């Protein structure tokens, strides 16, 4: 069980905000536009967080991800996993920290990740439903997405094309933060994979840096789409 979350620390003054190197925030905006084009962050869903020398950058919650700008991105303290310590906040006071924040922190804390992204990919939702129908609603039993004999598996840490890939599926909850404990348990139970699927919701993927996280997310999306299309065509993948 993770410690209770504390209230965010007071926000920095605009002068301090301007002094920050916001190149990572600009990268988050660029990636969010790419993810929007893939259908991963439509309808204000999804998000991304990246660590750098400044701290942990997180896209805001409940906004059009393809339209955010670097000044909209939060900077949080790195290593303060039991609380939310805001180092630099957006200039717009109406913005809020991403609902994904505690889930991003899971991968940072438990895996030493350098970047985590959250996709609302339709392929993740459908592949999870096919792999584990019982886990599609609240209180459902967790399941697994499995894949083997596909070349794109080579883009995943520690996997070859003939290995069996096994990604945990956890049940969804009414609020994103309520997934924190079940996601942490899945991360610890599946050390050989850098992803957790949330049934009826999407997927969290991480890596040592944003490049590996993005690569693995794209490869997983391909594998999940292959699974769904194979089912639709009634052909085997193995």
Is 4 within a domain? no
**Strands annotated E in the chain:** 47-51, 56-58, 60-61, 74-76, 86-88, 96-97, 115-119, 143-148, 164-170, 195-198, 202-207
Mean pLDDT, to the nearest integer, of 22-29? 95
10 Å Cβ neighbour count for 52? 18
Residue with the bigger pLDDT between 20 and 128: it is 128
- Give the structural domain span for 152: 14-233
Is 6 within a domain? no
Q: What is the tens place of the pLDDT at every residue in 193-215? A: 999 999 999 999 999 999 999 99
Look up the CATH number of the domain holding residue 198: 3.40.225.10
Is 238 within a domain? no
Is 135 within a domain? yes
Integer Cα distance of 51 and 57 in angstroms = 6
Rounded to 10 deg, the angle between the 23-37 and 210-233 helix axes is 10
SS3 207: strand
> In this structure, what token pair is assigned to residue 88?
């630099």
Can you give the pTM of this predicted structure? 0.89
Q: What is the tens place of the pLDDT at every residue in 105-130? A: 999 999 999 999 999 999 999 999 99
Give the contacts of 13 (CB within 8 A, at least 6 positions apart).
none
Is 188 within a domain? yes
| Nearest in space to 28 (alpha carbons), one of 124, 119, 117, 122 | 117
Is 33 within a domain? yes
**What's the structural domain count of the chain?**
1
pLDDT of residue 182: 95
- Scan for tokens 């959250």, then name that residue: 118
176 a catalytic residue: no
Q: Using an 8 Å Cβ cutoff, are 172 and 201 in contact?
A: yes
Catalytic: which of 16, 30, 151, 188? 151
Q: What is the tens place of the pLDDT at every residue in 129-145? A: 999 876 544 444 479 99
């Amino acid at each position: 069980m993770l410690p209770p979350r504390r209230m965010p620390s007071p926000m920095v003054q605009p002068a301090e905000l301007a002094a920050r190197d916001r190149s990572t925030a600009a990268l988050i905006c660029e990636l969010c536009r790419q993810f929007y084009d893939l259908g991963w962050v439509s309808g204000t869903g999804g998000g991304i967080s990246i660590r750098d020398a400044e701290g942990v950058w997180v896209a805001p919650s409940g906004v059009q991800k393809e339209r955010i700008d670097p000044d909209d991105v939060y900077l949080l303290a790195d290593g303060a996993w039991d609380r939310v310590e805001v180092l630099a906040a957006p200039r717009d006071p109406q913005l809020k920290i991403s609902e994904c924040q505690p889930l991003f922190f899971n991968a940072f804390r438990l895996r030493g990740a350098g970047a985590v992204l959250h996709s609302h990919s339709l392929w993740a939702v459908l592949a999870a439903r096919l792999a584990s129908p019982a886990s599609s609603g609240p209180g459902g039993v967790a399941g697994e997405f499995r894949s083997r004999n596909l070349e794109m598996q080579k883009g995943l840490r520690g996997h070859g094309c003939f290995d069996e890939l096994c990604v945990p599926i956890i049940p969804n909850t009414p609020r994103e933060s309520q997934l924190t404990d079940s996601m942490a348990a899945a991360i610890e139970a599946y050390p050989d994979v850098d992803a957790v699927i949330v049934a009826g919701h999407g997927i969290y993927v991480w890596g040592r840096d944003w490049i590996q996280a993005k690569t693995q997310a794209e490869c997983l999306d391909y594998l999940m789409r292959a699974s769904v299309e194979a089912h639709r065509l009634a052909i085997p993948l193995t």
